Chain A
């Protein structure tokens, strides 16, 4: 099947338009200090241009969505690639909505990168259109997945708001213990994002160069009749193997920087399916993330948070606090409806039970409980400002674990993931 050239072109265009919009938002903030201009008019004008660019990018993204729908014959939310591109689209949507309420260009500087990191992450997964298995042949695929993703997208904007609040409020000159702790926490959050970027970057680079390493092992099992059966298990790496799977032999490996064989073997307790490969991917991601972080520190010569914080300097922290909270307040009912209630209705129809403690279900519940705690602490116990911002940052990490981590680490009924 022809890999949907029309729709993927639109996605590519959307990606670059978002990138442009991001640069325009940056320009609208940093350019206001240039001479010969009134800062307020500058930000307003360029913020508006950047907003228009985001709308154009979103329009391309929507075109991608519907052309792929037409080409594939079913709504493109049925595998990891399609879901992630959709989530990216909804993050842009959520950003546009929140932007229209608060009209703060700085939000674009933080929300847009979340959107295009998610889109880039989508491209790590195989992009071919796959036929729908019977379990997915239901109109609930359209309803459940889209509403759940929309709710999560608002949490993503809440995360952007929370991060901005922290960058604005954390005192980088402070030397007291709480100051230091906050600085470290913020650096760690930024490092976490860079690790994700490192993951996407390394998969892209090695996939593009066609890197491959293969391992194999023989597994002997004794079945119920007492007969021994020997099966062969194979494992293919797209990243150079720093760690090889436990108990497997190397079949082939392209040398990488003079490295002709894996440096370590995964510990024996890592026996789950593809545990060795996943560990290798994690090591690569952390390494590239650390390298990116190191480079950024070398260039800026100060903590990353301190380097970024001037962007949000002009913002009123209370406004940032409210933006973050508002995005979450908009997202929470949508998330509940999509990820829990519609999910339960579909589960009842497809599997005969509305709830089965499947890992994905449990993690959706955990996400929901987490934001419930966030809302209770905020509304009833007055947690605002920094504490609320930290919770919105952690909350989105929980969301990402539910979407990605559960598929990669824990298997279950929802594990339609590839990589």
Chain B
């Protein structure tokens, strides 16, 4: 079917146009009296092409606001479902298959089996976000171009039908003794005072202001697109890192997969005093931390970094106190105070080797609980480390094991060679903590050698003790600048679009008959008031409300 898109004024419009691009005359239903559809000033959009190809069909699908609303609604419902039970990633360490069944019964199992326990990482949720992104791009392009075209070439003298079918409109005679040209130019100067940009063409007038607010939606969509791209960029290898480290006081550890080492020099915890706490908390005997911080040192490893045998060469590059809300930041590598745990543990001791009978001392040595050396030389004796159990215990069969890697109950087995000892050496088991020494009967285990040699800590001197383990969250997120820029552009866009409104007023005078139409994309109340005020100053008194639909109130 052929639809004539040529307007009476001689302008040839593309298919899909509803209002003539030039004079604004309605092309469809041209002698009706309903309000005109003013979106994009009635311009044809790409998605309204006839005979669409497959590409056009995809374009048309994503260019529909209806489809966009559906995608958003599905995302909304999916997100809500995702908050019914905690997501798997809420926990650092758990077995999801058991967790949901144990805590939430059958419903939990169904939730887990359907994959809602990782809603936000699932392929279908990410697909939804992709679809939102695609829709943002296509919807914006499909509309912004025709709108730009429509607004950049506006005709001043509009068709009468165009004016009378606006939401705010007025038709009536000019005041008596008023001369058409003079009336129009007074109107122009009144509207200019209200910051309108006014164009006149004889007795026709177009006043327009805040056109920029029409670009608001497109700018905020651009912001969202940049934001989503930023989120996407986090999956570029090396752009995103997220790991947790526990560090005892005094401990230095390599940050996995990097050439950096981080040291917890000291951990400080300050609690609120009783006088600062309200009764309800005091009654329960809760302790409330006021601040906690890790005094951290960041090292860069310059040599022997991945060599287990040799000591890495470390160079201090940064030093910072890490508090909640105050992360360490060094060239994009960030360390956050995540948590802490009270964990009284030994860091190192400085025991003395002596003869228990004579009390003769042969010297002392530094013994760290983390990475002790293979061999120590004390006076005439040589101590070879045969075994080290940071967290000593016995298994079912009575064999010694280490229950964990934390030095909670450290035990060392040395093979000692030297005067009065067998040439191949004699084993000596050493528990630095007095409580373990008694619990595991160190002297009985050692037997004969315990009569000849004794390893013991004489005083607290040289004993290093950690009170707390600090947990740091180490992060790298190179996409953050894009995310913030996207968010900022979004804000600029919504503020432009919501706090200003594009207002246009057209009028024409034909044989002393004034026809006026006005349009805004928001806030009709304000537009009506402005039009009525200007008209009142120009000798036509009409209440703002009567301008609505030209005073034809139902």
Q: Given known contacts A102-B525, A134-B292, A362-B79, is B69 in contact with A376 (CB within 8 Å)?
A: yes
- B150 within 8 Å of A (CB atoms): no
A255 to chain B: which residues have CB within 8 Å?
none
* Closest chain A residue, CB of each to CB of B85: A410
Q: Considering the chains assembled together, what is the distance between the CA atoms of A370 and B72 in angstroms?
A: 8
Instruction: Report how many residues on chain A are interfacial, defined by Cβ distance under 8 Å.
Output: 59
| B278 close to A380 (CB less than 8 A) | no
A373's contact among B73, B82, B491, by CB below 8 Å, is which?
Answer: B73
If A128-B279, A135-B324, A357-B82 touch, does A377 touch B69 (CB 8 Å cutoff)? yes
Q: Which residue of A lies closest to B288 (CB)?
A: A131
Is A27 part of the binding interface, using a Cβ–Cβ cutoff of 8 Å?
A: no
A325 to B498, CA, bound (A): 11
Q: How far is the CB of B544 from chain A (nearest CB, A)?
A: 11
Please name all residues of chain A whose beta carbon is closer than 8 Å to the beta carbon of B327 when the two chains form the complex.
349, 352
Contact count band on B: 35 or more
Name the CB-closest residue of B to A328.
B498
Q: Please, which residue of chain B has its CB at the minimum distance from the CB of A141?
A: B325
A353 engages B325 (CB within 8 Å): no
Tell whether A373 pairs with B72 under 8 Å between CB atoms, given A349-B325, A380-B65: yes
CB of A152 within 8 Å of the partner chain: no
- Most chain B CB within 10 A, of A130, A330, A377, is at A130
Q: Which of B265-322 contact A (CB under 8 A)?
A: 272, 275-281, 288-292
How far is B79's CA from A133's CA once the two chains are assembled, in angstroms? Answer: 29
**Contact present for B523 and A357 (CB under 8 Å):** no
Known: A1-B278, A354-B483, A369-B76. A133 touches B325 (CB 8 A): no
Task: Say yes or no: B278 contacts A333, CB within 8 Å.
Answer: no
Judge if A174 is at the interface, Cβ distance under 8 Å.
no
Measured CB to CB, the closest approach of chain B to A383, in angstroms, equals 10
Cβ contact within 8 Å between B65 and A376: yes
A362 touches B83 (CB 8 A): yes
Contact of B289 among A134, A336, A377, A379 (CB under 8 A): A134
Cβ-defined contact, A131 with B276, below 8 A = yes
Interface residue A138 (Cβ < 8 Å from any Cβ of B): yes
Q: Indicate if B103 sits at the interface (CB-CB under 8 A).
A: yes
CA distance A345 to B486 in the complex (A): 13
Stretch at the interface among A42-50, A301-309, A316-324: A316-324
B339 to chain A minimum Cβ distance, whole angstroms, is 11
Determine whether the beta carbon of A271 is less than 8 Å from that of B324. no
B483 contacts across to A, CB distance below 8 A: 344, 354
**A121-153 interface code vs B (CB 8 A; 1 in, 0 out):** 000001011110111011010000000000000
B residues near A102, Cβ cutoff 8 Å: 525
Cβ–Cβ contact B72 & A352, under 8 A? no
Instruction: Return chain A residues, CB-CB under 8 Å to B217.
Output: 379
- In the assembled complex, which residues on chain B have CB atoms less than 8 Å from the CB atom of A130? 278, 281
Contact B103 A348 (CB under 8 A): no
Q: CA separation between A87 and B106, bound complex, in Å?
A: 39
Instruction: Report B71-96 residues with CB < 8 Å from chain A CB.
Output: 72-73, 75-76, 79-80, 82-84, 86-87, 89
Q: Which of B107, B475, B525 contacts A353 (CB 8 A)?
A: B475
- B522, A319: Cβ atoms closer than 8 Å: no
Contact A341 B491 (CB under 8 A): yes
Contact in complex: A350, B324 (CB < 8 Å)? yes
Tell me if A333 and B498 are in contact (CB < 8 A): yes
A365→B69 contact, CB < 8 A: no
The 3 A-B residue pairs with the shortest CB-CB distance in the complex, in nearest-first order: A128-B278, A352-B336, A134-B324
Interface of B toward A, CB cutoff 8 Å: 39, 65-66, 68-69, 72-73, 75-76, 79-80, 82-84, 86-87, 89, 103-107, 119-120, 217, 242, 272, 275-281, 288-292, 323-327, 334, 336-338, 473, 475, 477, 480, 483-484, 487, 490-491, 494-495, 498-499, 521-525, 545, 548
Could you write out 5 A-B pairs with CB less than 8 Å apart? A134-B289, A322-B524, A369-B75, A369-B79, A411-B86
Beyond A101-B525, A349-B327, 4 additional contacts (C-beta under 8 Å) are A326-B525, A336-B494, A349-B325, A366-B80
Interface residues of A (CB under 8 A from B): 1, 101-102, 126, 128-131, 133-135, 137-138, 140, 268-269, 271, 316, 318-319, 322, 325-326, 329-330, 332-333, 336-337, 340-341, 344-345, 348-354, 357, 359, 362-363, 365-366, 369-370, 372-373, 376-377, 379-381, 406, 410-412
